[in-house]
Amino acid sequence: MFVPAHYEGDAAAALAVVQANPLATLTTSADPVPYATHLPIVVPEDTEKALRDGAQDLRGLRLVGHLNRANPHWSRLASGPSAGLLIFRGPNGYISPEVYGYTPAAPTWNFVSVHVRGTIRPLAAGEETLGVIRRTVRELEGRFGRGWDMTSSLGYFDRIVPAVGAFEVHVEQVDGMFKLSQEQSEQARERTTRHFAGSPDGTHRELAAWMERCPMSPLPDTEGR
C-alpha cells in the first residue's frame, strides 16, 4: 500500500484499527487472480500477553483466523506456509468541496486502513482449530455481543469443527494509512471534522473521532488559504 508520509500512523494506531475492525480481507496469490476472503481475525492469547507486557507493534507476533474448508481458498492455505495480506478497513467518508468553504477545490475521501503482511500457516484440525473458534467467540462476543455464554454450544462446536479450517499469521509488516485531511489547512480540517461529527452516520462520527485524536499535524498551508 502506498502511504504518503503525512498519512502514516504509528504502531499503536494501527493496532487499534486491527482490534476495532476484526472482519478483515485475507488475500493470497493465485492464478489468474488472487484469492480474497472476508473473515474474522483475532489476537490469540500469546499475542495479547506480549502486548500487555509492553510490545508496541504486531510485527513478530501472531494473529489467528478461520474459514470454511469448502472455500477453495482453504486448499491454498492448507498446502503449507504462504505469504498473505490482511486488509483491515476502518471508518471512511466522502468529502464534498462544499465542506471546505473555498474554491477551487476537489472532492476526496477520508479513510483509515491497515495492511498486515506475513506468513500464513494452517493449524491442525481438531483441538487446535477448536481453540481458534473458541478464542474468536470469546473476543467477538465479549466486545460486540450481548454476553452470550458458549458453554451450551460446545458440543455443537465439536460437530462443526471438521468443516472449519484455522490458520495463524506470523506478522512481518504493518502499514497504516490514516487519510484524515492532513493536506488541508487547519481551518478546512476543522470544518471537515465538524461535518463528520455532526453526521447521523455512526461511521462518519467514528471518522471524526479519528481526526480529533490524530497525532499528525496538517501540512503547511502553501496556497494562503
| pLDDT, position 103 | 86
- Type of residue found at 194: R
pLDDT band at 214, cuts 50/70/90? confident
**Total Cβ atoms within 10 A of residue 199:** 15
pTM for the structure as a whole: 0.91
Average pLDDT score over residue span 36-44:
98
CB of 37 closer than 8 Å to CB of 128: no
Is residue 85 within 8 A of residue 63, CB to CB? The reply is: no
Residue 87 in any domain: the answer is: yes
**What range defines the domain where residue 78 resides?**
5-184
CA distance 61 to 117: 12
- State how many domains the chain has: 1
Q: Is the pLDDT of residue 135 over 80?
A: yes
Q: 176 exposed, middle or buried (CB, 10 Å; 0-12, 13-18, 19+)? A: buried
| Rounded Cα gap, residues 214 and 91, in angstroms | 13
Would 195 be classed as within a structural domain? no
Q: In this structure, is residue 217 part of a structural domain?
A: no
Residue 217 has pLDDT above 80, yes or no: no
Instruction: Tell me whether residue 12 is in a domain.
Output: yes
Predicted confidence (pLDDT) at residue 219 exceeds the cutoff of 50: no
- pLDDT category of residue 140 using cuts at 50, 70 and 90: very high
Question: Is 197 part of any domain?
Answer: no
Model confidence at 215, pLDDT cuts 50, 70, 90, reads low
CATH number, domain with residue 123: 2.30.110.10
